[in-house]
Structure 1
Amino acid sequence: MDYLLITGKLVIGIVFLLTIIRLLGRKELAEMTPFDIVYLLIFGGILEESVYDDKVSIWMLIFALVVFGLIVFVIEKVAEKSDKARIVLMGTPDYIIKDGKLNTKRMDRNMMEMEQLRIMLRQQGIFSLREVKDLIIEPGGSVSINTYARYKPATVGDLKLDKPEEDPSVLLVDGGFIKEDMLELVGKSKQWLYDRLAELGYHDTDKILYCEWSETEGFYVRTYDDTTDAGGRE
């Protein structure tokens, strides 16, 4: 097989790989969703099968990579615009521990054993479950932990302060779209969200870039006008 042909295919593959990574956004490996990883595996398979197959021309490789890139782009856009599609394609955070209580069904769903959970905690510098108030498995498999206030550095117990426990915040509006799964998690309705936002002066969720809420801290809202370019959505 012509060495120049192999070289050309590899160069084209690298160019398209960088393009697809740009489409996925700049993410660390731990931040990637399962679908992001699938994209890269499929891409690797396409390139591997074509590089050393002299029946696959450079133009055939370019065509396959262009089609693949368009599919990735469309799926990313659909997931961005549709909350239900995002849940199916990208997954959602899973509360394994909430308010100090284990959810064994979600542990089973994530195929997690107790010792695996303890290993995750130790890797975060936590050596007892009694310290953990909330533990969340993110879509990419990383772990987010909220410990009880008395176990945090410079604890309020040491300072003899009476501070209430902090609840983790949940993202209720993302890019103008209401996250119904998060509302269900905190036991709230869309009407409740509309009413509370209206009280704060936000009457149109389409103009909200980011809205999080916690029981202890309340709402934190940023609109598209709050961005550095203040240009709204594209």
Structure 2
Amino acid sequence: MEFVRIATDLIVGFVSLLIITKIMGKTQITQITPFDFISALILGELVGNAVYDKETGIFQIVFAVVLWGSLIFCIEIITQKFRRSRTFLEGTPKIVIHKGQIDRDALKKSKLDLNQLQHLLRGKGAFSMREVEYAILENDGSISVLKKAPYSQPTRKDLNIEGPLIKLPICLISDGEVIWENVKSIGYDENWLQDQMKTLDVGTYKEIIYAEWKEGEGFYAQKA
């Protein structure tokens, strides 16, 4: 019975966390701030501790997750509606290199030392301070770098070269599963896809690990 209780609590906690994560949106991962990080840790701890607490039932787990998720959601709404609250709740990006010069005050306020700064710069392909014109420490701890003109990559506009129109490839098959809505979105049907399979000499879609279609380049696939 103890294993059944733990399994039930884990499943309920998992589903609750999944729902809360979906509601919170992708910014919880892609643009995570220190506050978001701490919130995510506590949310996981609530479920983790409750699972092994015999006095805590399913309803208590759901209540704790929903309440904490609601508080986080309210904070997100506040930061969206009231611009002035973002500085306090999310922080502000800081310019740590300005016109090629390191801003020591900005580094101290951000609790960032020179070695950490160099590490972040190398991650952006800047292996020398002399290459950097501006560096901005973002709220999530990442850094954005604008290199000086001699060290930046030239663009087609700089070289006066007209480039082709960019076309987005459409995934049609992933791990042997056909994404039919994508097939229909490009104006084709199952008969067309079957014809493509014949050119690859395969019997079933399961034999294809990945396939895509791109305007101007046609069908492309790799066998499993």
* Aligned residue in 2 for 1:147: 147
1:155 deviates by 8.1
The letter of the residue matching 1:87 is T
TM-score, normalized by length of structure 1?
0.62
* Aligned residue in 2 for 1:127: 127
User: What pairs up with 1:75-224 in 2 under 5 angstroms?
Assistant: 75-154=75-154
Give deviations 1:100-128, integer Å, cap 9, x for gaps.
Answer: 22211110111211122122212222121
The letter of the residue matching 2:145 is I
* Aligned residue in 2 for 1:72: 72
The letter of the residue matching 1:77 is I
Where does structure 1 differ by over 3 angstroms across 4 or more consecutive aligned residues? 27-30
1:71 deviates by 0.9
1:30 deviates by 5.6
For the structure 1 residues 100 and 59, does the alpha-carbon distance in structure 2 shift closer, same or farther, using more than 3 Å as the test?
Answer: same
CA distance in structure 1 between the partners assigned to 2:66 and 2:35 by the alignment: 18
The letter of the residue matching 1:25 is G
Instruction: Calculate the aligned-residue CA RMSD, in Å.
Output: 2.2
Q: Unaligned regions of 5+ residues in structure 2, if any? A: 160-224
1:49 matches 2:46: no
Instruction: Kindly tell me the number of residue pairs found equivalent between the two proteins.
Output: 158
For the structure 1 residues 151 and 53, does the alpha-carbon distance in structure 2 shift closer, same or farther, using more than 3 Å as the test?
Answer: same
What secondary structure does 1:83 align onto? coil
Kept in 1: contact 2:33–2:139 (CA 8 A): yes
* Aligned residue in 1 for 2:196: none
* Aligned residue in 2 for 1:24: 24
CA distance in structure 2 between the partners assigned to 1:101 and 1:121 by the alignment: 14
TM-score, normalized by length of structure 2?
0.65
1:29 deviates by 4.3
What secondary structure does 2:84 align onto? helix
Give deviations 1:41-61, integer Å, cap 9, x for gaps.
Answer: 111111111101110111111
* Aligned residue in 1 for 2:63: 63
The structure number with the bigger radius of gyration is 2
